[in-house]
Each structure stands twice: as structure tokens, then as C-alpha cells.
Amino acid sequence: MLVTQSQHSLGSFLDVLLYVSAAAIAAAGYYLCAQCWRAFGPSKSKRTKEEYQKVYNEIAGRLGEDYDYDDGSYGPILVRLAWHASGTYDTKTGTGGSNGATMRFGPESGHGANAGLEIARNFLEPVKGIYLKVLLYTFWSQDADSVTCKQPANFHVAKFPWITYADLWILGGVAAIQEMEGPIVPFRPGRQDRDSTFCPPDGRLPDASEGSQHLRHVFNRMGFNDQEIVALSGAHSLGRCHADRLGFEGPWTYTPAYVSNQYYNMLTVEMWKVRKWDGPRQFQGSTSQTLMMLPTDLALVEDEKMRPWVEKYADDESLFFHDFSNVLLKLFELGVPFEEGTERWTFTPTKVQKS
């Protein structure tokens, strides 16, 4: 078999390219390991409030980076992630809750109530995770004497790999609430990450197709009373339902990317009727036909003990903000074994920082 000069040159070039590629990957690996040790190695001191504020700012700065996502903000789905990570707690067994961040694993990640939350987890991943993004590869044609080399990106080491997923998810919820013009929600660090053996059983989160007694069953298990159930339901002022996730579809309010008491106003002033469609039973406004309510939402105004709180929050947004902050703090800390003396911190919203 004859070997042409061009084929010989091509072979020599590929040998050199392979050597350079191996050297680049080795160098990148060394640098990455050094960064891993710096990030995860022994620390002589605990992380400070200022360091957590930087994590907060990183999350806040990315909330609106994709204008085409839902209503232009990842905030609502971050609140849902923090909520669902915490809402599995059981006071009797001491299991579940935000400590552990076990939704990273199956079976919890596959629980029906958590459908779509991989979007929120993936959104937060670059804040903590370390990625090797060096992609050095070659293309060549067997019937051509040409080689194309591409190196599309350099590897990136995340800024805050020291924060646990469990703390990150809750801080993401806190940042989202505050950046969407909601109340200040205190945060206390100290949650630890656990493995899949700590995943709670399915069925601990609310079923949107049920009524008030189901809500009491779920929330009483976590230690919440009627007033707190209504206050926590105010999270439905944010975001929207997606038919491809839980079957339901549509937003609860006209401003789904902002925290407000509009949810309670819509419950009290709008006439809600069953929507005629092929999906699960949900309700459509008589005048606000683009909005929707779930059976668990209408249960709040149909229950004689819960309705007064709906009316109070509809009349007084400041009261709602006060109670919403308190009940979120309680929810996010359920079952977390904080070290004695761990302080609660409040973080400054980015809008205030710039003023």
C-alpha cells in the first residue's frame, strides 16, 4: 500500500494533536483537582454572612437571564423547589424536610408532585457544581487531506462549591421571594447533604385535587395550623401550572413573577367555575378567563375556619407578608439539626444594594 506525502503529514499532525490534547486535559485535570481541594478541603472557620450574601447575589443575578422561560423569571420554580424539599417533613418520625437535599436522587426526584423541578435544580447547579468544560476534538474525512480542530469552551470552576445543596436550595427560595418584591425571609445555614437512603416516601406533599381535610392532614403532619396553611398557600401568587407536569394549566394571578396578595383577592372577588377541557378538574374565572384555581385553592374559601384568613390577607398585604415570612421560615427549618448558637441572617435584596 502506497502512503502519499499528504497522508504522512496528516498522520504526523494527528499525532501532535493527540499529544497536545492529552497535555491540555492533564493540565485541566490538575487545575480542577487543585480547585476542588481549595473548595472542599479543610476550613479553619465557618462561612460568613457576607459569603452567603454573595451566593444570594449570584442567584438573584440569574433569575431573569432567560426572558422566554415562563413569565420571564426562574423565581417561582425556585420557590417551589425550596417548598417541596421542605414539605416532606414528618414530626412523628423526624424524617423528610430540607435537610439532606434528597430530591437529587430517585425515587424522590421521580415523585409526581416534583415533576419539572429538575429545571430548578439544574438552574442552581452551576452556582455550586464544578464542571470541566474543555472540549477538544477533531474532525477529518477519510477521503480528504484536511483536519478541522475545535475547542469551543474553557472549563469553568463554580464560585461557591462549598455550599451544601440543602442550603443552596433554601437560599434559592429565599432569594427568589425577596427579589420578586416579597417579604424578607430569614435564613439559617447548617443543612447537610444526605444520600438516597434518606429519601422520604411518596405522598407527603399536597394533592391539588383534594379539599380542606386533605390539606389539614398534610400540614398538621408538619405542625401547621389553619392560619399557617392559608399563609403558605400564598405561594400560589407565583408561577403557573404546566399541563405536561402535573396536568393542571395556567397562572393563579396576573403577576406570576411578583409576590403579592392578589391570590387572595382573586379567591374572594372572582366567580370560579369548572373549566371545560380534557385535563383534571380545575377552575376558571368568570371574568379572568386566563387565570385558574385548583380544588385545594377553592377549599380555602369553602372552609369556614380557613376563609377568614383568606379575607384578612386579601384586605391587608402587609399582614400577609408578615405571616408569609414567618411560615416560610418555619417550613424551611423543619427537621434541620442546626448547631447550637447558629444565627439567622437576613440578606439585602439586590435592588436595595444598588440604591
In the numeric block, the cell 376558571 is attached to 284
| 242 annotated active-site | no
For 61, the enclosing helix (H) or strand (E) is helix 49-62
- Our CA dihedral for 193, 336, 260, 295, rounded to 10 degrees, sits at 90
For 273, the enclosing helix (H) or strand (E) is strand 272-274
Question: H/E/C letters for each residue in 175-240?
Answer: HHHHHCCCCCCCECCCCCECCHHHCCCCCCCCCCCCCHHHHHHHHHHHCCCHHHHHHHHHHHHCCE
| 84 annotated active-site | yes
The single residue of 83, 169, 252, 309 carrying the catalytic annotation is: 252
Question: H/E/C letters for each residue in 143-182?
Answer: CCCCEEEECCCCCEECCCCCCCHHHHHHHHHHHHHHHCCC
Q: How many CB atoms lie within 10 A of CB 30?
A: 10
Measure the CA–CA gap between 304 and 283, rounded to whole angstroms.
20
What single DSSP character describes residue 284? E
DSSP code string of 93-162: TTB-SSTB-GGGSTTGGGSGGGTTTHHHHHHHHHHH-EE-----EEEE-TTSS-EEEE-----EE-S-TT
Measure the CA–CA gap between 81 and 130, rounded to whole angstroms.
21
The single residue of 84, 236, 272, 309 carrying the catalytic annotation is: 84
Angle at 64 between CA 324 and CA 163, to 5 degrees: 70
Measure the CA–CA gap between 316 and 183, rounded to whole angstroms.
14
- Type of residue at 195: D
Catalytic residues: 84, 252
